Chain A
Amino acid sequence: MARNERDAATAAPDAFSGGNKRDTPPFEVTAKVALADNQLRRNLGKATQAIRDKREAAAGEMPDWEELREAGSAIKTRVMRHLDEYLVQLEDSVRRAGGTVHWARDAEEANGIVAGIARENIGEEGTREVVKVKSIATDEIKLNEHLEKEGIHAAETDLAELIIQLAGEGSSHILVPAIHKNRAEIRELFMRELGLGDLSDEPEVLAEAARIYLRRKFLSAKVGVSGANFAVAETGTVCVVESEGNGRMCTTLPDTLVTVMGIEKIIPEWRDFEVFMQTLPRSSTAERMNPYTSFWTGVSEDDGPREFHLVLLDNGRTEVLADEIGRQSLNCIRCSACLNSCPVYDRVGGHAYNSVYPGPIGAILTPQLAGIGSSPGADSLPYASSLCGACYEVCPVKINIPEVLIHLRGKVVRNKQDNGGAKAKLDPENVAMQTLAKTFSDPRLYEASQRAALVGQWPLARSGAIHSLPGRLAGWTSARDLAPVPEQSFRRWWREERGGAER
């Protein structure tokens, strides 16, 4: 593949950047480029298969997994319905604990707040640098680029983030952003960029190189920047879940800590951790518990930063909240299980989504945050799915991603209709989506149609995928393959396993 073609497909994500949206290429276009990249497919296939198997074991070990998913979903639903109250409560709790709370309507406002705090606390002498722990919210607002413009370097400290920052690329996976790079590529990059001389391509040697390089930065940093996995309205406690220890470094060592969090990251009570600290690690890294989790409540005397700033970010989230079906997308705890379970993601990788939120969750979140009709790229994402439902089955907070996808497809088509002519009104996809949307929102109809599909699909399925649908739906499958309906749906299997107890 031509070098420049590859670059276009892997350019930093730009699906939405608060106010100055730029057109992104549609998913079909970037997906084709990604599909042609054999190295990427090999790296990715190996990785997602391994995580999928491990996750299943980690969740399977829990006899109360479904109850935990149910509780997680209910807690998040409660938060979204009363988000205003919880945010005010959080603000109050953080202030009482000695922190400062800022509100940011969009990316620009948030970037300005962080830059201001950094400028004030970074000191005159020394490097104009902040240390940063991986955070998707700060990727979303392009904080690093903004700080760079202000003459402040944001040093990414996750190994994977360091790798892609050095490579000048965007992340391809929420959890393992450098999943598309193999050890030889990383060795080459480190030797070129870190100036540490000859290295072998052993992961241990490469990790050691990163440790030495970053330790110097941690010890001298004045300002740390982080995201948040959760923030507790009741106590004001903020939580960062991680593996490497760089999160602890960034939130403990600098004198000043700035945390940027989406307003949806709130949980009502400290007690709610009993749910999420069970479901998040098992769903994401497929471990019983991730190596490190930090919880801090404002500032503590003599322990950690002297100043703590919490930036509450909207940047399109209230738009998502306004859509009663789309609202559940905000329940996401960014575990990435849906990415690993997705047959489409598995083949095209994260860059094809042209967003900081790739995979199934990105396919629903990105177009909503950017706004339907804002760009062909965002509008194409609800179609980046075969609707097989695997994402829904693994989601630890039970986001019905297929339902939202179909709902959004309807919105995309309706938007085209409103801005297009009579031709769009008869678009077969629009008609089909309206029916499907109804089906997905009713569990009984959904199962009935799954059974019908199982019986009806055999003449269509060839080599494990459905390549063409008859009649009115033909236009839909001409551009994408459908995964066949599994012989036994999860819902059915579950009911049989649990002796018919419907929940």
Chain B
Amino acid sequence: MNAREEILSRIRRATDDVPQGERPGDVAVERGYRHADGSSREEIISRFAETVAEYRATVHRVDGDELPEAIAEALARRGVQRLAVPADLPSDWLPDGIEALRDAADSPLSKESLDGSDGVLTGCALGIAQTGTIVLDAGALQGRRVLTLLPDYHLCVVRGDQVHGLVPEAITALGEVVRDTGRAVTFISGPSATSDIELERVEGVHGPRTLEVLIAG
């Protein structure tokens, strides 16, 4: 018997107490937890701003038409010269005088050039107010996973209408992407951190050490 057959037959023997006719769905799963946050949009967005900030990420709220200006200011504060961006990032998000490293499908950025950049600017798939989480799904304005992994600074734009209240709402929204496209999904909650040395939190071991979030609209 090969390993697959043997493991499956071991499992069947081990679970022979389970009645023959029982289907997986017959084992009841009560989902009595909260599924949606009934708060107003404004409340949800301000909660998101608070929870993200609690991870010591920098958060700014800006009006939609002020976005390019807010981006320019953030990049200037940080002193960013060479900025990695996904291929579909709108050009009006890019301030003058910044060298944009566009990650195009036909000329992808090398790991080394990403490692040597000063930061990365992306949008996101959605945000979760309950936990202060930004979710990337390699969709619009985000690009490949590696883009937001190697640079030391991540500036992320979240539209107000992308913020969900609770984790279950976000999982529902992402289910479609995963099922239909199989694209990878990444949850980001604050900058990279460790508490391995005497449980003292240190920001930035491997990922971007600084996360800055612009909530637009």
Give A residues with C-beta under 8 Å from B.
43, 46-47, 50-51, 63-64, 67-68, 70-71, 74-75, 77-78, 80-88, 97, 102-105, 109, 157-160, 163, 176-179, 182-183, 186, 203-204, 206-207, 210-211, 214-215, 218-219, 235, 237, 243-246, 248-249, 252-253, 263, 268, 270-271, 273-275, 277-278, 281, 285, 287-298, 300, 302-304, 312, 314, 318-319, 321-322, 324
* Cα distance, A210 to B205, chains bound together (Å): 7
B199 pairs with A50, CB closer than 8 A? yes
- Mark out the residues of chain B between 168 and 195 whose CB falls within 8 Å of any chain A CB in the assembled complex: 168, 171-172, 174-175, 178-179, 182-195
Neighbouring A residues of B46 by C-beta, 8 Å: none
CA distance A302 to B51 in the complex (A): 33
Q: For B186, list chain A residues within 8 Å (CB).
A: 248, 292-295
B132-160 vs A: 1/0 string, CB under 8 Å?
11000010000011100100000000000
Q: Distance in Å from the Cβ of B117 to the closest Cβ of chain A? A: 14
Please indicate which of the listed interface residues B108, B115, B196, B200 has the most CB atoms of chain A within 10 Å of its own CB: B196
Q: Which residues of A contact B32 (CB under 8 A)?
A: 64, 67, 70-71
B-side contacts of A218, CB under 8 Å: 206
A-B contact pairs, 23 of them (CB 8 A): A64-B32, A74-B28, A80-B15, A86-B24, A87-B7, A87-B8, A87-B11, A105-B6, A109-B3, A176-B195, A177-B196, A178-B196, A207-B197, A211-B206, A244-B193, A245-B208, A248-B149, A248-B207, A281-B131, A291-B191, A292-B207, A295-B178, A319-B14
Q: Name the B residues within 8 Å of A268 (CB-CB).
A: 24
The reply to whether A63 and B192 form a contact with Cβ atoms under 8 Å apart is no
- Enumerate B19-57 residues with CB–CB distance to A below 8 Å: 22-24, 27-35, 51, 55
Chain A residues with Cβ below 8 Å from B3 are 102-105, 109
The answer for the CA separation of A263 and B6 in the assembled complex, in Å, is: 13
Q: Which interface residue of B12, B128, B188 has the most chain A CB atoms within 10 A?
A: B188
Tell me, rounded to whole Å, the shortest Cβ–Cβ distance linking B30 to chain A. Answer: 6
> Is B193 a contact of A243 with CB atoms below 8 Å?
yes
Q: Does B202 contact A (CB under 8 A)?
A: yes
Contacts of A51 in B (CB 8 A): 199
Asked if B111 is at the interface (CB within 8 A of a chain A CB), the reply is yes
List the A side residues contacting B162 at CB < 8 Å: none
How far, in Å, is B18 (CB) from chain A's closest CB? 5
Q: Which residues of B contact A263 (CB under 8 A)?
A: 7, 11
Decide if A289 touches B182 in the complex (CB within 8 Å): no
Contact of B24 among A63, A81, A206, A235 (CB under 8 A): A81
**Given contacts A287-B189, A297-B182, are A157 and B206 in contact (CB under 8 A)?**
yes
- Residue of B at shortest CB range from A277? B167
**B interface list, Cβ under 8 A from A:** 2-4, 6-8, 10-15, 17-18, 22-24, 27-35, 51, 55, 105, 108, 111-112, 115, 128, 130-133, 138, 144-146, 149, 167-168, 171-172, 174-175, 178-179, 182-200, 202, 204-208
Across the interface, do B193 and A302 meet the contact criterion of CB distance under 8 Å?
no
A336 to chain B, nearest CB (A): 13
Q: List residues of chain B with CB within 8 A of the CB of A294.
A: 145, 184-186
Is A278 within 8 A of B187, CB to CB?
no
Known: A268-B24, A291-B191. A214 touches B206 (CB 8 A): yes
Among B13, B108, B204, which residue has the most Cβ atoms of chain A within 10 A? B204
Given contacts A78-B27, A105-B3, A244-B207, contact A215 B198 (CB under 8 A): no
Q: Is the CB of A81 within 8 A of B132?
A: no
Interface pair B34/A64, CB less than 8 Å apart: yes
Q: Which residues of B contact A298 (CB under 8 A)?
A: 182
Q: Which residues of B contact A183 (CB under 8 A)?
A: 197-198
B154 to chain A, nearest CB (A): 11
Assess whether A275 is in contact with B182, with CB atoms less than 8 Å apart: no
A43 touches B198 (CB 8 A): yes
B27, A81: Cβ atoms closer than 8 Å? yes
Q: Are A274 and B10 in contact (CB under 8 A)?
A: no
Minimal Cβ-Cβ distance residue in A for B179 = A235
Q: Shortest beta-carbon distance, B203 to chain A, in Å? A: 8
Q: Are A243 and B111 in contact (CB under 8 A)?
A: no
How many angstroms between the C-alpha atoms of A64 and B167 in the bound complex? 13
Query: How distant is B144 from chain A, measured CB to nearest CB, in Å?
Result: 4
**How far, in Å, is A90 (CB) from chain B's closest CB?**
12
Q: Once bound together, how far apart are the Cα atoms of A271 and B174, in whole Å?
A: 9
Please tell me if the beta carbons of B11 and A291 are within 8 angstroms of each other in the complex.
Answer: no
Chain B contacts of A293 at CB under 8 A? Answer: 186-187
**Given A103-B4, A219-B115, are A304 and B27 neighbors across the interface (CB < 8 Å)?**
no
A186 to B128, CA, bound (A): 36
Closest residue of chain A to B110 (Cβ to Cβ) is A219
Q: Verify B207–A81 contact, CB threshold 8 A.
A: no
Select which of A71, A105, A292 is within 8 A of B29 by beta carbon.
A71
Q: Which residue of B lies closest to A54 (CB)?
A: B199
- Complex contact B112–A219 (CB within 8 A): yes
Q: Are B179 and A246 in contact (CB under 8 A)?
A: no
Residues of B within 8 A of A186 (CB): 197
Task: Give every chain A residue within 8 A of B14 (Cβ-Cβ).
Answer: 318-319, 321-322
Contact indicator B202/A204 (Cβ below 8 Å):
yes
Contacts A291-B189, A297-B178 given; does A248 touch B145 at CB 8 Å: yes
Write out the residue numbers on chain B whose beta carbons fall within 8 Å of the beta carbon of A288.
Answer: 51, 130-132, 189
